[in-house]
């Protein structure tokens, strides 16, 4: 049996590098799927990235080479969203931007959500109070 073998990815860290890379790849896939499910069409073009970094260094003191490796992953960022704001003043007279506490619709930021004084959403067609969940989900 050979004491040493040619360096391959499968032998780095006694195989742990590939195990870690497989685990990270599985995690990245799950994160991308969840991202697309959460953001739908706004996730168009979202991507994940698996990085494997291997550095081989020579150490003269030991007349040997050291293989340093790492696995990293990059996940998609949250898609940009908009909130419409209007210029105004605080009670102290300081300039500020004012926004509706009920927010706006995610698909049409200029379309505000009609709510009661307590924050419950109101159906604009019927005038019926439809609850706080509808206001939050706009």
Domain residue ranges in the chain: 9-74, 86-137
Residues 6+ apart with CB under 8 A from 19: none
Residue 87 CB: number of other CB atoms within 10 A? 8
pLDDT single digits (tens) 27-42? 999 999 999 999 999 9
**Could you tell me the pTM of the whole model?**
0.62
Tens digit of pLDDT for each residue in 64-82?
999 999 999 999 998 877 7
Q: Of residues 23 and 128, which shows the higher confidence score?
A: 23
State pLDDT tens for residues 86-113: 888 889 999 998 877 665 555 554 555 5
């Amino acid at each position: 049996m050979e004491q040493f073998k040619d360096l391959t990815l499968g032998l780095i860290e006694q195989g742990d590098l590939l195990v870690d890379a497989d685990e990270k790849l599985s995690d990245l896939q799950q994160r991308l799927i969840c991202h697309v499910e959460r953001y739908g069409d706004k996730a168009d073009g979202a991507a994940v990235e698996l990085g494997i970094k291997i550095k081989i260094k020579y150490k003269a003191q030991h007349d040997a080479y050291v293989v340093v490796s790492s696995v990293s992953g990059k996940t998609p960022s949250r898609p940009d969203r908009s909130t419409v704001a209007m210029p105004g003043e605080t009670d102290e007279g300081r300039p500020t931007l004012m926004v509706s506490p009920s927010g706006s619709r995610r698909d049409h930021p200029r379309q505000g959500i009609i709510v009661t004084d307590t924050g419950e959403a109101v159906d604009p067609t019927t005038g019926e109070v439809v609850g706080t969940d509808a206001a939050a989900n706009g």
